Amino acid sequence: MAGFCNIRGCGGWTLVTVCFFDFVFLSLCPILPWMSNTPVVGYASERTWTLAYIKGFKTQSYGHVHDIACMAYGDLQRDTMLTCSIGLCRSYRDRCDGYCNWKFGAYGVLGLTCCSAFASFIGLFLACRGTTQAYKAMGCMLFFIVSAESGGLFLWYDNSDYALDKFNEMSLYPLPVYGFGMFVCAFSALLALFASFLCCIQYNKARREELGITSEDEYDSEGSD
């Protein structure tokens, strides 16, 4: 090996480039909107949902919105002598329940995305290192990224869908559409999957180089031994 950086040909540079863009896209996921809706009657400003906060007339965290809904529900339940007999009380009860699920779902996806971005950053250096051990470790990193991002997308979809269903049980809540952040997350998972195939190809090249094998026939006979 010539040194720390051992990038082999066009395939090696392609792998490094894919890993770099995967890291960039994963780093952008937490700040991009994962849902948004346009202003409608009763909601004068556009609202966007990221993994960390909700931005509308003002920016609030999921925990803060959840606390407001639960406090209002608690006050109305007290005023109705614990019967919650009026529609407004049941509406805030549903919001409290919905935002509780959405809060844990959003923060869970945020954690998975940040861990995936860190793994992608390490994978970028492993791709530059270019040894068989580095490619083995990189394969594990890419498997984690694909699994974490796939699980994060499902977690976001399941929790946000549940919350919006709860919001609309006792009131009319404008349904948002999926935002750019979800598509960037899905694309980054596909990039990681593509990088895993490139990683396997580069591993074979690095293995032949470390064994001093210059032809496919020698490589096959070495593997059979």
Fold of 9-209: Butyryl-CoA Dehydrogenase, subunit A; domain 3 (1.20.140)
pLDDT digits (tens, 9 = 90+) for 4-31: 777 777 888 999 999 999 999 999 999 9
Name the band, by pLDDT with cuts 50, 70 and 90, for residue 225.
very low
Contact 197, 119 (CB under 8 A): no
pTM of the model: 0.82
Q: Cβ atoms within 10 A of the Cβ of 99, count? A: 24
Q: Which regions of the chain does DSSP assign to beta strands (E)?
A: 35-37, 47-49, 53-55, 59-61, 177-178
Give the residue among 68, 88, 211, 195 at the shortest CA–CA distance from 221.
Answer: 211
pLDDT digits (tens, 9 = 90+) for 53-102: 888 878 889 989 889 989 988 888 877 777 777 777 888 888 888 899 99
Contact 12, 202 (CB under 8 A): yes
Write down the pLDDT at residue 29: 92
Report the distance separating Cα 191 and Cα 188, nearest Å. Answer: 5
Mean pLDDT, range 124-128, rounded to an integer: 90
Contact 114, 149 (CB under 8 A): no
Contact 170, 94 (CB under 8 A): yes
pLDDT digits (tens, 9 = 90+) for 157-215: 999 889 888 888 766 677 788 889 999 999 999 999 999 999 999 988 888 887 777 65
For the chain, the structural domain boundaries read: 9-209
Write down the pLDDT at residue 137: 92
